[in-house]
Amino acid sequence: MVTSASDNAERPTLAEMPDEAEHALRFTRAREAQSNALIEDYVELIADLLLTTREARTTDIARRFGVSHPTAIKNIARLKSAGLVESRPYRGVFLTEEGEQLAQQVRRRHRIVVDLLVCLGVPTETAELDSEGIEHHISSDTLAVFERFLQSHAGK
């Protein structure tokens, strides 16, 4: 394989790479965030449906996620096992107190990320789309910095 000088310029040297333990920690954190993303998205959608339509039916959840009904049922079962939702026959899915708290945290994180992106000049529609990935991978420390930045730039 032939590499050009520009290829080599983009590659980190061994000295620039984090040590193995730090590298493993970074990847572990990323995998955990990916695993939590699905749970957080479901909880957020259920909360939104309950606020707007007063019910969160499995069929509505499946349609909004663009997944099959059995997939939605499987994911809702994960939420039940985690103690985040409960279902009532013929009434749909409801958040537990823990589920409601998680939904509020996710909504807040989502809003901060969207607001930051818009503040930086990203069009609102793009910011909404991009935040769906970013919001699950951001640490509480970084989120606090984003929030302080937004507060210091309010009205500018």
Q: Which residue has the tokens 């970013």?
A: 134
pLDDT at 88: 82
Check pLDDT > 70 for residue 128. yes
Instruction: Give the amino acid at 30.
Output: A
Which top CATH class is 20-96? mainly alpha
Over residues 7-49, the pLDDT tens digits come to: 556 776 666 777 777 777 766 666 666 768 899 999 999 999 9
Which top CATH class is 102-152? mainly alpha
> Residue ranges of the domains in the chain?
20-96, 102-152
Check pLDDT > 70 for residue 6. no
* Terminal Cα-to-Cα distance of the chain (whole angstroms): 51
CA–CA dist 59, 25 (Å, integer): 38
For residue 109, give both structure tokens. Answer: 């994180």
Buried b (16+ CB within 10 A) or exposed e, 55-80: ebbbebbbeeeeeeeeebeebbeebe
